[in-house]
Structure 1
Amino acid sequence: MQLTSKINQIVDQLEKIQPFNVQNPLDATRKYLETMSLQLSSKKEPVAIIEELNISKENHQIPIRIYRPKGKTVQKSSAIVYIHGGWFIAGNFETHDAVVRKLANATGSIVIFVDYRLAPEHPFPAGLNDSIDAVRWVVENAEVLGIDENQIGIIGDSAGAAVSTAVSTQMGEYLKFQVLIYPAADNQLNTETWKVYENGPVLNKQGGIEAWNWYLPKEELDNPLAIPVRIKDFKETPPTLMIFAEHDPLLDDGKQLAENMNNAGVSLKTSFYKDMVHGFMHMGEILEEVQLAIEEMAAFAHHNFKMVKENQE
């Protein structure tokens, strides 16, 4: 494993992170992601407006944060639903704030960040259900939100990419594209890249085993909506961009998911970021590749939104 000097600098910094006042291993994981994002994300870009709302469900609320990009004057805007990563057990508004701001400005789209319920307090399918409900809510409230209901996409990173993959099989008719950033596609953790990167950087196998155990109840161990590589029916899946990182234990799992999608006839583009590690989208303070990935996602979004407009004319 040959890491660049910038990646080694990041690894050194990650090893020094000592979350404050940790209560237990779960709390440590959550605070670690928050600290990593705070220390390594680039300066937060200004956006026009940030609104926080709750989607009311029968027994709970789904918090969402709506980002409106700077300089946006279109009455009916395109929109992107963002499903965050964090091994299904961590992540929140603040861990992904810098990334989502960049996406909103680069795409010119309203971005709706879903703060779905996390395991182990709320194991599968709680987070998936929240994400599906959020997409449905955006579609149903598009006019009030100033959104063009025919211009909606979805982006997910890591565990969020796993959730997004499942969402798109259920709600794909409403989605014009999907971006999956280094997806957590399988719970077996037995690929070659898991052997090479068992102890990191960033992720480690023991943490992955614990996270999947917290996330997946025994009765759901064979549910393809929880484990994307087991999905057979991709008929609703929209055009998809999948982003891979070279030094990522999840790489082979993501490649297998890509192969399955390709074999199922999904319109698929894959993009490989050499020298990058898992979670590199949170490392914009040091890595210029973050902006390159943002621009690639924006171009993909623009292309698919443009295709819709051309088909409507």
Structure 2
Amino acid sequence: MKLTEKVKNVNAHVQQIKVFGASDSVDAARKGYEYMAGQLSGTKTKIRVIEEFDIPAANHQIAVRLYRPEGLETRNSAAIIYVHGGWFMSGGLETHDAIARKLADATKAVTILVDYRLAPEYPFPAGIEDILVVTGWLLEHAQRLHIDGNQVGIVGDSAGAALALAVAMKMKEQLKFQVLIYPATDNKLNTVSWMKYADGPILSKASGIEAWSMYLSDDSNNIDPRAVPILNDVFEDISPVLVLLAEHDPLHDEGKLLAEKIANAGAIVEVVDYAEMIHGFMHMGAAFKEVEDATARIALFIGNCLDL
């Protein structure tokens, strides 16, 4: 493993983040993630309109944050449903605010960041159910939101990419694109990249085992392809897929394997593998120029899918 000095410095900074006042290990992980994202994101992109509101589900409310770029106040636009990462148990509106802003600005699409329920309090399939509720609500209220209901897609990073794929598999051609950023796809954690990067940078195998256990909760979920994306074999009628990978990421190989399965099934898939990058680099705009390149590639892919 040969990391650049910049990557070494970023990883060292992340490891040195101190969390105070955490009630338990899950609370510490959640607070630590917020600190990391806040410190490394860099200057946030200005967005014309940002709104927060709740979407009703069966027995609870789902908080969302909507980003509407300049010039989209009156005309119908494309929309992105963004599913944040965080090992199924952390992350939210604040950790992914900078990423959502960048995507909204680059794509000129209304972007909806979803604060779905997290494990261990709400294990599988709670998060997927929340994203499905938000997606259905968005399509139903598209006209009122000045959104073109025929130009909606989904983006997710890390664990959020696992949820995004499950939703895309369910919605099929109702979604026009999907972007999976360094996706978590397999609970076995037995690929070469996991062996190579078991102790990081950023992620560790121990934390991965704990996270998957909290998320799956029951052994019967270990064989459910909605929960474990790599178990999917049939990708019929799904929207085109863009997969972004990072070279020094323990999730690298499982993301690559998923992309190969999608391609072998005859679906449209594009893969971009970022040399020298680490897991979570999309949070690290203050350090890596690759963040801007990845954002531009995502915008180009979405534009091509929508023929804009």
The verdict on a shared fold, with TM-score over 0.5 as the criterion, is yes
What is the CA–CA distance in structure 1 between the aligned matches of 2:60 and 2:173, rounded to whole Å?
Answer: 26
Match in the other structure for 1:120: 120
What is the CA–CA distance in structure 1 between the aligned matches of 2:256 and 2:287, rounded to whole Å?
Answer: 27
What SS does the corresponding residue of 2:285 show, helix, strand or coil?
Answer: coil
The alignment-based identity, stated in percent, is 49
1:271 aligned to 2:272?
yes
Mapping of 1:66-85 within 5 angstroms? 66-72=66-72, 75-85=75-85
Mapping of 1:172-251 within 5 angstroms? 172-218=172-218, 219-251=220-252
Q: Which residue type is aligned with residue 83 of structure 2?
A: I
Cα shift readout 1:18-47 (whole Å, capped 9, x = no counterpart): 012121111111111101101100111110
**1:221 deviation in Å?**
1.5
What is the CA–CA distance in structure 2 between the aligned matches of 1:255 and 1:92, rounded to whole Å?
Answer: 26
What SS does the corresponding residue of 1:136 show, helix, strand or coil?
Answer: helix
Please say if residues 169 and 233 of structure 1, whose CA atoms lie closer than 8 Å, have aligned partners that are also in contact.
no
Please say if residues 57 and 130 of structure 2, whose CA atoms lie closer than 8 Å, have aligned partners that are also in contact.
no
What SS does the corresponding residue of 2:276 show, helix, strand or coil?
Answer: strand
Please say if residues 73 and 146 of structure 2, whose CA atoms lie closer than 8 Å, have aligned partners that are also in contact.
no
Q: What's the TM-score once normalised by structure 2's chain length? A: 0.98
**1:72 deviation in Å?**
3.0
1:294 aligned to 2:295?
yes
Q: Which residue type is aligned with residue 49 of structure 1?
A: V
1:42 aligned to 2:42?
yes
1:88 aligned to 2:88?
yes
Q: What's the TM-score once normalised by structure 1's chain length? A: 0.96
**1:73 deviation in Å?**
5.1
Mapping of 1:151-170 within 5 angstroms? 151-170=151-170
Match in the other structure for 1:142: 142
Match in the other structure for 1:104: 104
Match in the other structure for 1:5: 5
Runs of 4+ in 1 over 2 A off after TM superposition: 70-74
Please say if residues 154 and 179 of structure 1, whose CA atoms lie closer than 8 Å, have aligned partners that are also in contact.
yes
Q: Which residue type is aligned with residue 285 of structure 1?
A: A
Q: Which residue type is aligned with residue 254 of structure 1?
A: G
Cα shift readout 1:252-308 (whole Å, capped 9, x = no counterpart): 11011111101111101000100000000000001010000000000111111117x
Change (3 A) 1:73 1:53: closer
Long gaps (5+) in structure 1? 308-313
**1:217 deviation in Å?**
2.3
Please say if residues 6 and 286 of structure 1, whose CA atoms lie closer than 8 Å, have aligned partners that are also in contact.
yes
Long gaps (5+) in structure 2? none
